[in-house]
Amino acid sequence: AFMIYRVLKRECFLVVFFILSAVSTVYSLFIRVVNYSIICVYVGLSCGQPLQDQDREYVGFATLPNQVHRKSVKKGFEFTLMVVGESGLGKSTLVNSLFLTDLYKDRKVLNAEERLAQTVGITKNTVCIEEKGVKLKLNVVDTQGYGDTINNTDSYKCVSDYIDRQFEQYRRDEIGLDRKNIQDNRVHCCLYFISPFGHGLQPLDVECMRALQDKVNIIPVVAKSDGLTYDEVKKKKSRILSEIDKYRLKIYQFPDCDSDEDEEFRRQDMELKRSVPFAVIGSNMVVDVNGRRIRARLYPWGVVEVENPYHSDFVHLRNMLVRTHMQDLKDMTHDTHYESYRAQWLCKSQCTDVVGRHMRKRFVLVLMILVKKIVD
């Protein structure tokens, strides 16, 4: 009996042990399942399924544009605009209207006698403008006395030389020691002012545009277009365009619109391209019109509003210069005009090298013959 009791006790103990271990296994499994489902529900609720894909695919370079943006804003922007055209066509007034600043505070208007004695003078004015924390250093290069003389053959030579000098300065700075702080004074855009009173382009306009076309982005503008009716502006524009075509002049070509741009952007881009050459109006006056303070020109018969798209193409020109194409103008200057200047310079310097080597060889030969003759 004692033996049977001992066996039963051991069996009982074993059975209890098995039951307890089974219960604990089931319990731990249950706890794991509950934890896992809680985690899944939490992840699913907070980010949904895509988070797992994102986690797998997100390296971080999507923030690169932000980094570039921050760095560029910190560094600030620089832009050099050149205005070329006869005196009195409204160049200075337009520049002031474009950047809402008075760039020519201390200017001295020359009288007829002084103008006769003056040759083409290039002046550079710099203003630093800030808008919403973005700084722009704007250089405006003005060509005073252009087209004022009877013989204007060399008027554009000065302008062309100035552009070349800036390229040369940049090339030297690029191969110099302090490459970090290069001042970029290259001319990024040239507003070429065409008189509203002539019939299309004058011979001087054609010559000048031809001389500058491979050095700078030329944007033709019809000056003082408030003196022309709507039809006259249309006719003048089409005549100027056909003459540009006829003389094979190269003006700044707007880049094609990207395929992913929205409808509104495409429409604005089309309108912009259709406005070339821009018929512009400038004014240094701010007047009150129906309670609005606007830049305008006051006439006895009414008010011409500078920023009204029905009155002129001023807004299209400003949007293009400042909002949409400033970077493209800079890229074109660097990638096309400056590269072509560098290529020409390299070609010239290599030619000089070859001639130099050839001359050295001949010099040595002559020297040898002379020495031989003396020895003989």
Ligand X SMILES: Nc1nc2c(ncn2[C@@H]2O[C@H](COP(=O)(O)OP(=O)(O)O)[C@@H](O)[C@H]2O)c(=O)[nH]1
CB of 163 to Mg ion, least distance (A): 19
Determine contact, residues 345/171, Cβ cutoff 8 Å: yes
Q: Which of 201, 221, 281, 321 binds ligand X (CB under 6 A)?
A: 281
Residues contacting 224, CB < 8 A, separation 6+:
89, 90, 196, 281
Query: Closest Cα to residue 116, out of 143, 90, 87?
Result: 87
Q: Are strands 77-84 and 286-289 parallel, antiparallel or unpaired?
A: unpaired
Q: Which does 169 bind (CB under 5 to 8 A by kind): Mg ion, ligand X, none?
A: none
User: What is the C-alpha to C-alpha distance for residues 163 and 198, in angstroms, rounded to an integer?
Assistant: 27
Stretch that binds ligand X, among 111-119, 126-134, 211-219, 221-229 (CB under 6 A): 221-229
Nearer to ligand X, 240 or 304 (CB): 304
Nearer to Mg ion, 145 or 200 (CB): 145
Query: Closest Cα to residue 321, out of 182, 160, 140?
Result: 140
Q: Which of 88, 160, 202, 206 binds ligand X (CB under 6 A)?
A: 88
User: What is the C-alpha to C-alpha distance for residues 207 and 249, in angstroms, rounded to an integer?
Assistant: 10
User: What is the C-alpha to C-alpha distance for residues 314 and 351, in angstroms, rounded to an integer?
Assistant: 47
Q: Which of 79, 80, 92, 272 binds Mg ion (CB under 5 A)?
A: 92
CB of 220 to Mg ion, least distance (A): 18
User: What is the C-alpha to C-alpha distance for residues 350 and 354, in angstroms, rounded to an integer?
Assistant: 6
93 binds ligand X (CB under 6 A): yes
Amino acid sitting at position 304: V
Stretch that binds Mg ion, among 18-26, 67-75, 86-94, 150-158 (CB under 5 A): 86-94
97 binds Mg ion (CB under 5 A): no
CB of 247 to Mg ion, least distance (A): 27
Q: CA neighbours within 13 Å on the CB side: how many for 188?
A: 21
Stretch that binds ligand X, among 87-95, 152-160, 202-210, 249-257 (CB under 6 A): 87-95
Q: Which of 121, 198, 227, 356 binds ligand X (CB under 6 A)?
A: 227
Q: Which of 148, 226, 305, 313 binds ligand X (CB under 6 A)?
A: 226
Query: Closest Cα to residue 99, out of 322, 329, 326, 328?
Result: 322
User: What is the C-alpha to C-alpha distance for residues 290 and 124, in angstroms, rounded to an integer?
Assistant: 38
The secondary structure of residue 48, as a DSSP letter, is: -
143 binds Mg ion (CB under 5 A): no
Nearer to Mg ion, 101 or 319 (CB): 101
Q: Which of 187, 209, 282, 318 binds ligand X (CB under 6 A)?
A: 282
Nearer to ligand X, 115 or 171 (CB): 115
Stretch that binds Mg ion, among 32-40, 62-70, 85-93, 196-204 (CB under 5 A): 85-93
Query: Closest Cα to residue 99, out of 278, 328, 279, 326?
Result: 326
For 78, the 3-state DSSP assignment is strand
Query: Closest Cα to residue 166, out of 143, 181, 153, 183?
Result: 183
Stretch that binds ligand X, among 38-46, 90-98, 322-330, 359-367 (CB under 6 A): 90-98
CB of 117 to Mg ion, least distance (A): 18
Stretch that binds Mg ion, among 58-66, 83-91, 169-177, 359-367 (CB under 5 A): 83-91
224 binds ligand X (CB under 6 A): yes
Q: Which of 79, 91, 147, 216 binds ligand X (CB under 6 A)?
A: 91
92 binds ligand X (CB under 6 A): yes
Alpha-carbon separation of residue 47 from 38, 39, 40, 42, 54 (angstroms): 14, 12, 11, 9, 10
87 binds ligand X (CB under 6 A): yes
Q: Which residues bind Mg ion (CB under 5 A)?
A: 91-92
Q: Which residues bind ligand X (CB under 6 A)?
A: 87-93, 224, 226-227, 281-282
